């Protein structure tokens, strides 16, 4: 069961992009690329390190180049974007130009924050609840531009969410 189009998964940090993307790629039997992991491998530094050391603008430029590289592969498959990748107009244009399906994991802020707090991952753009909440509100309207919206609730399991996506894709 393969999707003929690349699939990009977007949403706020802590919304479940990586886990859901993993289950979706397995379900569709396609390649999975986590854009943050790709950046870490190709740049030798994590997105958090790049933001701290080079600034967010430089990181976003690296992120856009990385996304273009991933989308340019023969089989892009499922791509888990970083939380801010979808916010950049250039990235949305790249995604649209390659006819990728964009999917927004619409997860309530409190659930995202709960996951952020429980994580050991460094998130320089969401260190406090107030900072993360303001970022969430600024980005929400842009996430709504995604082609497919999947509403996430507290107890939703990643494999169930992946199944919902497959249904929406018509596979």
Q: Which domains does the chain have, with CATH numbers?
A: 7-161 (3.40.50.300)
Mean pLDDT of 72-89: 89
Question: Over the stretch 131-168, which tens digit does the pLDDT of each residue have?
Answer: 899 999 999 999 999 999 999 988 889 999 999 999 99
User: Who contacts 111 (Cβ-Cβ below 8 Å, separation ≥6)?
Assistant: 14, 15, 152, 153, 154
Dist. CA 158–CA 118, nearest whole Å: 17
70 pLDDT exceeds 80?
A: yes
Dist. CA 140–CA 17, nearest whole Å: 15
2 pLDDT exceeds 60?
A: no
pLDDT above 90 as % of the chain: 75
């Amino acid at each position: 069961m393969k999707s003929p189009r690349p699939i990009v998964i977007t949403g706020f940090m802590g919304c479940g992009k990586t886990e859901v993307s993993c289950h979706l790629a397995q379900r569709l039997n396609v390649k999975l690329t986590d854009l943050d992991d790709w950046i870490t491998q190709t740049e030798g530094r994590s997105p958090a390190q790049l933001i701290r050391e080079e600034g967010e603008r430089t990181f976003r430029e690296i992120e856009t180049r990385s996304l273009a590289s991933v989308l340019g592969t023969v089989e892009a498959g499922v791509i888990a974007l970083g939380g801010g990748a979808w916010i950049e107009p250039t990235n949305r244009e790249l995604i649209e130009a390659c006819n990728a399906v964009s999917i927004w994991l619409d997860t309530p802020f409190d659930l995202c924050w709960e996951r952020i707090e429980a994580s050991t991952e460094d998130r320089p753009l969401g260190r406090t609840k107030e900072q993360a909440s303001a970022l969430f509100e600024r980005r929400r309207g842009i996430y709504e531009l995604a082609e497919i919206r999947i509403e996430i609730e507290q107890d939703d399991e990643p494999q169930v969410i992946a199944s919902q996506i497959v249904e929406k894709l018509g596979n």
